[in-house]
Amino acid sequence: MTADGVPGEMRSAAMTLLATLDDRQRSLAARPFTDDAARRWLEYRPAQRPGACIAEMSGAARKAAHRLLATGLSDHAYAQAMAAIALEEVLDRRERWLWGRHSGDYWVSVFGDPVGGDPWSWRFEGHHLSVTMTLAGGEISPAPVFLGANPACVSHAGRPVSRPLAPEEDLARALIDALGPAGRDLAVVAGQAPGDIRSQQLGRLHLCAADDCTNVHIDLSKNRSRRFCSTSCANRTNVAAYRTRRATRPTPS
């Protein structure tokens, strides 16, 4: 640990990362602390975002980014974060490789100058993982920090193979049980969780237009006109519509 503890570790790790990036990546990762639009960007879904992409970094730069992330997390939280990242490959297989998810689709930014005395911050973010640390002097504000997992549990023969957030899940369920019926009525605000986390990017989330599909997809088209979660849903719906039109077409007399 450095002489000034965790703030010094973060400063050193951020400087190493910036020095390891090439010029193009550094221009993407290094931003002014006053860039509020980029600094306040919070998005837990897979999408392009401010910063430099891990997938485009050299091996040394990728390790430097992971080391910066590790300065803000405990040992077990870092393990959970890396498990969430690895699950992108598992999720991509479950989705039949439709969206090209990959464990390199994570982005890192450094806002401000880690060396100077002014406030600065860094962020490591991607699907189901967002860690932001803001430093002012010797104080650290660890917020916002979000960890998720999809799939939450991978099982085989009735036993979990992967369940990264098991401690938090079990603790939450134990808390609800301990509250009793009256306490649960006060604590539980809805019987069903929202379909997704609400954020400023939520306007790009849409329910698939196929009648037999309940998937929610992210519309990254420029005119926000995407209607279906997959080409199979689009094709199935269009074929059904065509057959309906054929069936109702008047028969020539």
pLDDT tens digits, one per residue of 81-122: 999 999 999 999 999 999 899 999 999 999 999 998 899 999
**Whole-number pLDDT of residue 61:** 98
> Is there a single domain that holds both residue 150 and residue 206?
no
Q: Which of 127, 154, 181 is the last residue of a domain?
A: 154
pLDDT of residue 200: 59
Mean pLDDT, rounded, for 159-167: 97
All residues at 6 or more sequence positions from 94 whose CB lies less than 8 Å from its CB, including other chains: 151
Tokens at 72, concatenated? 């803000």
Averaged pLDDT for residues 170-198: 88
Clarify whether residues 146 and 219 are in a common domain: no
Beta-bridged to residue 205, according to DSSP, are: 218
Residue 23 belongs to a domain: yes
Same structural domain, 144 and 222: no
Q: Average pLDDT over the chain, rounded to whole?
A: 89
Residue 113 lies in a domain: yes
> Distance between CA atoms of 157 and 57, rounded to whole angstroms?
38
Residues 236 and 116 in one domain: no
In terms of residue numbers, what domain contains 217? 202-248
Considering its fold, how many domains does the chain have in total?
2
Token pair recorded at residue 198 = 């609400």
Backbone angles phi, psi at 116, to 5 degrees: -75, 180
Of 96, 129, 154, which residue constitutes the final position of a domain? Answer: 154
Our CA angle for 205, 211, 217, nearest 5°, is 20
The pLDDT value given to residue 125: 95
pLDDT band at 190 (very low <50, low <70, confident <90, very high): confident
| C-alpha–C-alpha distance, residues 12 and 193, integer Å | 40
Confidence of residue 221 (pLDDT cuts 50, 70, 90): low
Give the 3-state secondary structure of residue 134.
strand
Domain match, 82 and 138 both: yes
pLDDT of residue 46: 75
Shared-domain flag, residues 12 and 111: yes
Q: Read off the DSSP letter of residue 202.
A: G
